[in-house]
Amino acid sequence: MARKLFCELNPVTYKISVTKGILKRRLKWYINRHKYASIYETQKLPIKIYEHKSLIRRKLGNVNMELQDNKAINLGLAAPKINGITIRPNETFSFWRLVGKCTRLKGYKEGLVIKSGNINQGIGGGMCQFTNLIHWMILHSPLTIKEHYHHNKIDMFPDYGRQIPFGTGTSIMYNYLDYQFVNNTDQTFQLITYITDEYLCGEIRCNKELEYSYHIKEENSCFVKEIDGYYRNNEIYRKKVDKKTGNQVNKTLIIMNHSKVLYEEDYIQDDMIRTK
């Protein structure tokens, strides 16, 4: 039997570990404060690199839809914290540094969260969807992902209105599990984020045209039955294309997923099942 980590011993040690992580991150923010993106522009930069929107209220198994309504409120509070932020050359974008801690006092509600691989609920639930949106847009740009966590070991919910490949999501927790990217180019980028009644919407913009375009492709997607149940497999690639010639410059494997399915077999499409 594997030895438990300090944070897994009991609720007290877990709280100590969380507090330690938060304080360490805040110290790092303070020491490197001049390196983080902090300037907003009300006017949009001229070139739209990519845009995306994600459905706010999704059917997620037996999850209470009230949590989805609360998520809409939470996203509505967080979106203005990101909207208009510019990321200048050599600056780093930090999601939690801009959004801050989600608390009841700020108006955040109980929403769906994933904790230690299990479905749970907590104040500010839904922020993972926000960083999912940002991450998907960043993958279509020359910006460099600096910090990224994900739930790629488990497939918790059957597909419903999925717009992006499985396994390209993010996992965050204030503030020690952050989502960060850095601008290593000589251009300035900008994120635009807002919500409608149905969608969380975003754009990534730039001050000038880019030389390359970026495309994300899923390959070898399937479900395989193993001894302890079904697993979802796929590979996610990023293609870099010269915009002038249309030629592919390179193709990079982003992630290879092998994730245990946690929902009923009935939700798996028969044509997606492969023999091992």
Q: What is the pLDDT of residue 9?
A: 65
**Using CA atoms, how far apart are residues 211 and 253, in angstroms rounded to an integer?**
21
pLDDT-derived band at 21, boundaries 50, 70, 90: confident
pLDDT-derived band at 5, boundaries 50, 70, 90: low
Q: What is the pLDDT of residue 276?
A: 66
Counting beta carbons within 10 angstroms of the beta carbon of residue 210, is it exposed (0 to 12), middle (13 to 18) or buried (19 or more)?
middle
Report DSSP state, residue 3. Answer: P
- Is the pLDDT confidence value at 59 over 80? no
Q: Cis link prior to 175 (omega < 30° from 0)?
A: yes
pLDDT-derived band at 248, boundaries 50, 70, 90: very high
Q: Which amino acid would we find at residue 13?
A: T
Backbone angles phi, psi at 112, to 5 degrees: -70, 130
pLDDT-derived band at 273, boundaries 50, 70, 90: confident
Lowest pLDDT segment from 36-40, 124-128, 147-151: 147-151
- Is the pLDDT confidence value at 1 over 60? no
What's the whole-model pTM score?
0.92
Which H or E run contains 18?
A: helix 11-31
